[in-house]
Structure 1
Amino acid sequence: MAPRHFTRYLVVGAVFLFVIIIFSSSSTTSRAGVIDVLQYPEAIRDKIPTITVPNSLRWSFQSSPHKPPDQRNSTHDGSSWYSDWKWLNPFSSSVTLDQDRIVLPPLHERPPIYTFYDASAKADQETKKIDKEFLLSWRRAWWAHGFRPVVLTDAEAMSHPLYQTLHAKGMPATLEQDFREWLAWAHMGTGLFASRYCLPMAPYDDALLSHLRRGQFSHLTKFQGLGSGLFAGEKSQIEDALKSALNSVKLSAFKTITDAIDSDRFKTEQPTSLAHYDPKTVASKYPVLAELIAKEPNKGRCSLLKLMQAHLHMTWQNTFSTGIVVLQPLAAHTFTLVKPSMDLARLLAECPSSILQSACPPNRPKCTPCTGSKLTVNTASAFRNTSSLFTIAVVPHPYTMITLTNLTTDISVAHIRRNTDRDPWITAVTRDILGDARGGPSRVVSLKDAAASEYGSSRSLWFTTEHFPASFYSPPPPPKSPTNDRPVEEKTAPFPEDWLEHIDWHFGFRIPRTTISHGESLPPVPGPERWAKIPAGLPAERKKAHEPDPPTEEAAAIEVELLRQARETINSKEEVVLKIREVAEAWNLADTEAWKFVKSFRARQVVERLKFEEEESAFETGAARGNSRWWGS
């Protein structure tokens, strides 16, 4: 008796044979055939059918034999990258045909936001220095939220054709100054125009900020209650509004340019994400500060700047109310490896100092001051995709991870292949979101998305060990004897100032340079109150791995030396040294791709900011800018 479904099997087999016959029969010999008939004797090859692959299928399975062209500003400090939409491909070499060239996501176009600074105004050196500090704070805050902040001067205003008509109108000096600022904006074109006291006071993905980043404005826009804090518009809308205002017969009776422009030309929106620290707002919400500004202008303005910085920092802390987590997936012998991340996390968790510690931003009256609930800092063995949690991670090179795991740099090829697991770091990092059954390629894609997507990059910060100077990895100082009346002391993290300045631009505010110690615990062994909190529901075996014993002074010194030697190996050009490094990379393809990707992504961020600072240095010299700038090229 025939088995069940025998008829069904016969039908499927018949269809399969029919398809083979259709695609394999051909009257002519094709060079695209899978079987090379020339390798067989003549009597046999006449009987072998030639399999012809359709051109459409043959094209779809072919990859380009040529490397993609080099792009401008695509190398820095030993890293090379190629910006393309294929950046989520597991391995960049399949796109770039180069083992050392990494595919990164295309840079998002930053819409311009302008402010005006009257460099010709008479003021003492101290006042000008404070003005520059305000401009720096303004640029840094808008840059961190995805905009391109540009400082305009009289040079741009004088480049506009209508500039010559201002004096002939006989308008008040304050109104004429408003027109000069708008003429400078009109000369540059479409974008945002803001006061240097107007800051984005909201998370990166806030709805209003996301709308403004698109750079599309159907109407000339102002914001309710902000006064002259922020405007948005297209070039044609700005030009029409200026011409209409200058032709008004009541021009000399107006006090501000918004009074002179017909209200029908404006569309009004709610400034839910914007904070404007103009004199009116300061007087109503911060009267103590207003009094100080009236009595001692320079001292009061410095206090105002600190308050603005504190509010930016506080808003960031409120966004990540769950806390900051430092990834330490392979906890054994990696305390020194993650030490710079822990130091940075503690600086971010510090309460910013200002004249009004418990005051909230003008647009966020129900904020949570840092003094009431300080941000927590913990370690975690795996990445968690939580919107209220900020993640800091250090991605080690596979060779670095092997030396730390084995506590020796005497590593052979045989040892790597026989005694080490493949891709242990990325497997541990992605275990919570992908489980244990997934392979390296899918784990690389998840890590790239977490580190470099628009959503992920605003909620995490990824480094490699090579991003930190070697001095970062140093043994902790010897412990001091605790006393009951031990005073509060400040501890300065071992970060160079220029390194911290770059990180300031990532967050949009000046990170505190010191942490406050109250004597809760002493290095090198943290007390129980500073140990990482174990997430609820963690299995017993995971708990043990999550809470290893802290290192002794001797163990910490060994880790420092291993990290130093590993860095030398990775940067070495010697053939013998390169061989063991290449073996470590080949055995850990996913870990290597993650390390190269993060290294190149951070390098491109540095290049982007340095290029921007070079271009924006023009306002220091008073040179006019226009079509020769990036938005007109």
Structure 2
Amino acid sequence: MASRAWNPCSYLPRRLQIVASLTTFLLFCLLFLGTSSPDDPTTYVNSVPFGPELRTGAHQVVDRLPALPKVPYMAPPTWLNPFSSPAHTPPPEQANSSSGEARWYADFKWRNPFSSSTTLDEERAVLPPLVERPPVYTYFDAAGRRKDEKSRQAEQDLLQVWRRAWWAQGFKPVVLGKPEAMNNPLYRAVQGLELEAEMETELMRWLAWGNMGTGILANWLAIPMAAYDDAMLSFFRRGEYPLLVRYESLESGLFVGSKIWIEKAIKEAIANPSINTTKTFFEAVPPATFTVDKSNTAIAFYSTANLKAKYPSIREKLSSATQIADGLAMLPPLINAHLHSTWQNTFSTGIAILKPSPEKTTSLILPAIDLARNLSQCATSPIPASCPPNRPKCKPCVSSTHMPITVATVFRNTSTLFTIGTVPHPYTLISLLHSRSTLDVKFIRRETARDSWTLAATSELIGSGQSSFFRLPALKDAVASEYGRARSLWFTAERPPRGDSEKDAEELDWHFGFVIPREPLDDGRSVTPVPGPERRPPPPKDEFGDGPRPSSSDLKREIAFFEQARLFLQRSGRSSSSSLKKLAGGGGGKEEKAAVQTRGIVEAWNLADTEVWKFVRAWNARLRVERRGWEEEEEDFLGKGRFAKWVDRVI
């Protein structure tokens, strides 16, 4: 056997061999590489910089280095660490999802207590998906109409009344004209027919409807006059019309159907050999073309026959050739008054103004009290105490019996009670309750209750013992559900629905479907035996709720604190997330930083109250965006400008 080379470490165990080898290597380095023999050892020691000299030299080296480009931060790809947990990303921004500081995201998870769990963003509120409004069409051809200014203005006012009423009921009103009829491929077949004037208008109306497709065709004097959840209106809102239906009591005032049935009916009418002698469309088609519905609970048709039978004063003016314009001018205020009284009859219990914190919050509900008084008063009408055609047994509005107005400390889910809710920001509520213009962390944490507004408002609806987070879905349902939004109006205290500007008043008109009275009447036009020159009801007796009645000086002081809080929120807003990013980057002054931080602390301490406030703010903002977007689409058809459809065109 060959002898192996001698290795002294081979006689040691394996682990000791490794230790011995490392020890030998370190000793070798210390002996031969770690020593120096300068002539004067102190010279070498003194040449090594230390302390201030070392710092000065380091600064000089750094200052001489070229500036490095700023590289944006990029998150590492997930494939570098396949075992890491996935990160959630915020949902993308949706079209038309912001207005001012309000931002929202439409999703079916809108009833979840907190929007941030879906959006991963504290500033975006989750709203229910926007419900598609089924179209309702009317036909108006200015050619052949009366040319005097009074009649023209009355017709434009009637069209505006028609549009406003259908919009408030959840529909998308569209005014059609002859251009839509000419776009229908069947228009050429109608050109060669010699028709009566009434039948020609009827065919143009149907051709325009057929060009648009499935939907509702209504006369511009056919107005929805019922509660929002009426069975007939609910059927219309579904937007599914399997048959071509006409209503017996409405004559030719309203039809519903799909595009295929509309086209079939037009072809049958054109093929009728006796079409030249007929005056109505349903007389020119076979009886089986339509499904006739004898029930009508929701549509008031102000036809010539109904006007002559039910409203003698208008009948007399329409019968006179010189007073037709005066008769037409009476229709818009009459229909508006009927819409208003129908709404009042729907909410027989009255109007409730929500005031969960009865002490020191009267200034928050003053706009709601003014709105409730306007809603409960009687509208101006040329025929007082009259009823709409579809509701002959209505309860007319008279100044002797007004709608009850109450101030409620809790929200009540009653179908016959209309609620006006004012939601304050937590900062505003704390400022008023504690009469403080400035807040700090110590005071917020030790002296204020959490989510006091949410807990108080839902104390009867939910009961006690439940957390504020559990109560949020119920409040959101009261604001944005189909049932809730028809029986309540919610707004933030910092942006109340004031009627002092025409723009704000118009928003309320489109919400309710009628023009809300702006000022009290003082001409004494009331119905006998109703006395009194004033129709506007007084403020509610329990205006201050369960709290003490504040003096005029206390109320002025409360209003001053409220204005300070409102200005503070404006200064700390625009939106909070962008302000925080600005502050993180070093921007903003000391006051701005302190305001944003204080607002963030208050909102973090009152998560539920903040969620309700942001939800209501976003809800109202989206309503404004939706309506104004629709008005922009219909701008050329509003009777304005050169290309108006409601007036004669100059070609």
With normalisation by structure 2, the TM-score equals 0.78
Q: Give the corresponding residue for 1:557.
A: 556
Corresponding residue for 1:89? 112
Could you say what secondary structure the match of 2:364 adopts?
coil
CA deviation digits over 1:270-311, x for unaligned, max 9? 211111001101111112221123331222112122111111
CA distance in 2, matches of 1:145, 1:109: 12
Offset of residue 250 of structure 1: 1.1
2:249 is the alignment partner of 1:225: yes
Return 5+ residue gaps in structure 1 as ranges. Answer: 1-61, 473-493, 521-525, 534-544, 625-633
Query: 1:210–1:64: structure 2 CA closer, same or farther, 3 Å change rule?
Result: farther
Please give the root-mean-square deviation of Cα atoms over the aligned residues, in Å: 2.1
For structure 2, which runs of at least 5 residues remain unmatched after alignment?
Answer: 1-84, 525-530, 573-591, 646-651
Q: In the alignment, which residue of structure 2 is the partner of 1:351?
A: 378
Alpha-carbon distance, 1:622 to partner: 5.0
Alignment of 1:222-261 (within 5 A): 222-261=246-285
CA distance in 1, matches of 2:541, 2:87: 52
Q: Distance in 2 between matches of 1:404 and 1:211?
A: 47
Aligned to 1:308: 335
Q: Quick one: distance in 1 between partners of 2:556 and 2:253?
A: 54
**Per-residue deviation at 1:341?**
0.4
Contact 2:472 2:608 in 1 (8 A): yes
Check whether the contact 1:569–1:578 (CA below 8 A) recurs between aligned residues: no
Q: How many Å separate the matches in 2 of 1:247 and 1:584? A: 73
Partner of 2:496: 468
The residue aligned with 2:54 is none
Residue 600 (structure 2) aligns with = 582
- Partner of residue 162, structure 2: 138
Offset of residue 164 of structure 1: 2.2
Matched, 1:426 2:454: yes
**Offset at residue 623 of structure 1 (A):** 8.7
SS in 1 for 2:429: helix
Whether the 8 Å CA contact 2:158–2:331 is kept in 1: the answer is no
1:597 aligns with 2:615: yes
Deviation sequence 1:124-160 (CA, Å, 0-9, x none): 3332222111111000000110110000011101111
Deviations 1:577-620 (A, max 9, x none): 11111111011000000000000000000000000111112325
Q: Deviations over 1:173-229 (max 9, x none)?
A: 211111011100000000000011001111000011000111111211101111111
* Residue number among 403, 407, 419 corresponding to 1:379 in the alignment: 407
Distance across 2 between alignment mates of 1:562 and 1:194: 52
SS at match of 1:435: coil
Task: Quote the Cα distance in structure 1 between the aligned partners of 2:202 and 2:135.
Answer: 20
TM superposition shift of 1:63: 8.7
In the TM superposition, 1:281-320 aligns within 5 A as 281-295=306-320, 296-320=323-347
1:67 to 90, 95, 98: 90
Q: Which residue of 2 aligns with 1:336?
A: 363
Inter-partner Cα distance in structure 2 for 1:64 and 1:96: 13
Residue in 2 that maps onto 1:611: 629
Secondary structure, aligned partner of 1:130? helix
Give distance in 2, aligned partners of 1:530 and 1:623.
Answer: 45
SS in 2 for 1:466: coil
Instruction: Classify the secondary structure of the residue corresponding to 2:328.
Output: helix
Deviations 1:481-519 (A, max 9, x none): xxxxxxxxxxxxx52111011110110111011135999
Q: What is the CA-CA distance between 1:342 and the residue it aligns to?
A: 0.5
Based on CA coordinates, which of the two structures has the bigger radius of gyration? Answer: 2
Instruction: Give the Cα separation in 2 of the matches to 1:556 and 1:584.
Output: 24
Give the TM-score, by structure 1 length: 0.80
Tell me how far apart the structure 2 counterparts of residues 415 and 232 of structure 1 sit (CA, whole Å). Answer: 62
Instruction: Say yes or no: does 1:495 pair with 2:500.
Output: yes
Q: Distance in 1 between matches of 2:327 and 2:548?
A: 49
Does the CA-based 8 Å contact 1:155-1:623 persist in structure 2? no
CA distance in 1, matches of 2:86, 2:209: 47
Call closer, same or farther: CA 1:142–1:63 in 2, change over 3 Å. Answer: farther
Q: Aligned pair in 2 of structure 1 residues 64, 607: CA closer, same or farther (>3 Å)?
A: farther
Give the residue type in structure 2 aligned to 1:586: A
The C-alpha deviation readout for 1:25-46, integer Å capped at 9, x for no partner, is xxxxxxxxxxxxxxxxxxxxxx
Q: What is the SS of the residue equivalent to 1:564?
A: helix
The answer to whether the Cα contact below 8 Å between 1:347 and 1:512 also exists between their aligned partners in 2 is: yes
Given that 2:491 and 2:620 are in contact with CA atoms closer than 8 Å, whether structure 1 keeps it comes out as yes
Distance in 1 of aligned mates of 2:413 and 2:496: 26
- 1:248 and 1:460 map into 2 onto residues whose CA distance is 51
1:177 and 2:201 are equivalent in the alignment: yes
8 A contact 1:426–1:591 mirrored in 2: yes
Structure 2 partner of 1:152: 176
| 1:440 aligned partner | 468
One-letter code aligned to 2:301: H
Instruction: Say which SS state the counterpart of residue 186 (structure 1) adopts.
Output: helix
> Aligned pair count?
523
Q: Does the 8 Å CA contact 2:351/2:403 hold for their aligned counterparts?
A: yes
8 Å contact kept, 1:153–1:184: yes
Report percent identity of matched pairs. 44
Distance 1:601 1:63, change over 3 A: farther
Distance 2:558 2:318 in 1: 52
- Aligned pair in 2 of structure 1 residues 584, 367: CA closer, same or farther (>3 Å)? same
Kept in 2, the 8 Å contact 1:346–1:515? The answer is no
Residue type of the alignment partner of 1:263:
P
SS in structure 2 at match of 1:329: coil
Deviation at 1:64, TM superposition (A): 6.4
Q: Could you say what secondary structure the match of 1:324 adopts?
A: strand
How big is the shift at 1:551? 2.1
Letter in 2 for 1:598: V
Aligned to 2:305: 280
Decide whether the 8 Å contact of 1:219 with 1:265 is kept in 2.
no
Decide whether the 8 Å contact of 1:202 with 1:315 is kept in 2. Answer: yes
Q: Secondary structure at 1:427's aligned position in 2?
A: helix
CA distance in 2, matches of 1:303, 1:315: 19
Q: Is the partner of 1:550 in helix, strand or coil?
A: coil
